[in-house]
Copies of this chain bind each other. A is one copy, B any other.
Amino acid sequence: MTPARKFPQVDHADATGELKEIYDDIQDTLRVAWVAFACRVLATFPAYLPLAWRAAQPNFATRYAERAADTLRERSLLPGPNPPDPRPRLQELGWNEARIDAVRHALDVLNYGNPKYLLLITAWTEAFQDRPSGGADLSRDDAAPIPRGLPEGVAPLQLVDPDTASPEVQVLFKRVSDLHFHHGPSSDYRVLANWPEYLQLALDETLEPVVRTEDYDAAGRTLLVQARELIRGFPASAGIESNTLSELCTPSEIAGLNGLLFMYQRFICDVTIDMIRLKQAFDGPEAAAASPFPVP
């Protein structure tokens, strides 16, 4: 078996021109510290992302979007007892509090963004398949803008590149993908790979016991159902119909885009649940389900 190459995508550091502007605007509008795997892969189809993001942007600049993400985050806890606190094991491995706090902060940043990306891809999927992704009347408060740019104290996340990662990290990435039946590691796991010891511990103790269990898949379904309802509350259509691309894309590109939107919608449900579970292990269910950076 030849070593798997990184899934086709345009990383933020490689984006130029209009694509870089869109990546920056996605981060600034959503107030998130990375551009989602889904967006980076969709960027390999040049016609799609600019049109789709232009439709999404005004919707995601509202308090409605912020609250919708908060609602999803609240629904992302798995039932059952708390996972074990990883601190004792990390301390045994020689970790000090600052290092532990760096992981906790990364989880906060990821947990702030994942539900927003779930809304984004859900809106894009529904619109692509000719179903409503907005058009509701918002209250003045819901229509009000949220601040632009990253929350205070948040810097862009550093993603480990699967192609140049250490053999140890490549093994962990493969394990993450196979555990979920995914096609590659999400941005979230590429961030956690900055701390391979923690990533391995998280897989061993927190995630492997739950991922793809009945409860886990039921939680993903709940998120999906909720996300579909929430995107219909956007003020305007937040995505584009596949017909819009009939002059700009080949038939196989239109088919492929549809498949990718469908896939990433479910992929992001999984990742949302995972990162909230990891946060729960450190800080309990209430902290895990709350917005780490509430908009005042």
Interface residues of A (CB under 8 A from B): 1-2, 4-5, 7-9, 41, 44-45, 126, 128-131, 174, 177-178, 181-183, 212, 214, 217-218, 221, 225, 228, 241-243, 246, 250-264, 266
Contact = CB atoms under 8 A, between A and B. Distances in A.
Contact of A130 (B4, B251, B262): B4
Contact of A258 (B212, B243, B252, B259): B259
Contact of A252 (B2, B8, B178, B251): B8
B255 A253 contact: no
Within the oligomer, what is the number of copies of this chain? 2
B258 A7 contact: yes
Contact of A251 (B44, B251, B260): B44
A261 B256 CA distance: 10
Given A241-B1, A246-B5, A261-B259, A181 B214 contact: no
B259 A228 contact: no
A218 to B, nearest CB: 7
17 contacts: A1-B241, A2-B243, A4-B243, A5-B243, A8-B254, A9-B251, A41-B255, A44-B252, A44-B255, A129-B177, A129-B181, A131-B181, A217-B221, A252-B253, A256-B257, A256-B260, A257-B259
